[in-house]
Amino acid sequence: MLNLTNLDATSIAVYRTRVAHPAATSRQVSDELDIPLSQVHLADGRLAELRLLRPASADGWAAVSPETASDLLLAEAERALLEQRTAVAAARAGLSALTGEYLDARSRRTGPGGVETVEGEEALRAVVHELSQSCRATVDAMVPVGAGDRAPLPEMPLDLAVLARGVTVRTLFQQAGQGHRATASYARAISTAGALVKSVTLLPAHMLVYDGTVAVLPLGPGPSGADAVVIRDPAVLQVLMQLFDQHWERASDFGAVEQHGGEGPSDLERAVLRLMAAGKKDEVIARQIGVSPRSISRIVATLMERLQAASRFQAGVRAAANGWLA
Q: Give the tens place of pLDDT for each residue, 40-52.
A: 889 888 888 888 8
Residue 101 or 288, more confident = 288
Tell me the CA distances in angstroms from 264 to 6, 140, 272, 320, one per residue in order: 78, 31, 13, 12
Enter the pTM of the model: 0.53
User: Which of 29-33, 227-231, 270-274 shows the lowest mean pLDDT across its residues?
Assistant: 270-274
C-alpha–C-alpha distance, residues 239 and 92, integer Å: 39
Tell me the CA distances in angstroms from 256 to 62, 127, 198, 252, 267, one per residue in order: 77, 33, 9, 7, 13
C-alpha–C-alpha distance, residues 119 and 306, integer Å: 47
Strand 53-57 and strand 138-143: the pairing is unpaired
pLDDT above 70: residue 101: no
Confidence of residue 1 (pLDDT cuts 50, 70, 90): very low
pLDDT above 80: residue 143: yes
Tell which residue, 180, 182, 237, 177, has the closest CA to residue 202. 177
User: Which of 14-23, 101-110, 225-234 shows the lowest mean pLDDT across its residues?
Assistant: 101-110
Each residue's pLDDT tens digit, 259-298: 445 567 777 777 788 787 777 888 888 777 777 788 888 8
C-alpha–C-alpha distance, residues 218 and 124, integer Å: 8
HSE value, Cβ hemisphere, 13 Å, CA-based, for 311: 4
Q: What is the pLDDT of residue 154?
A: 55
User: Which of 26-35, 100-109, 135-144, 259-268 shows the lowest mean pLDDT across its residues?
Assistant: 100-109
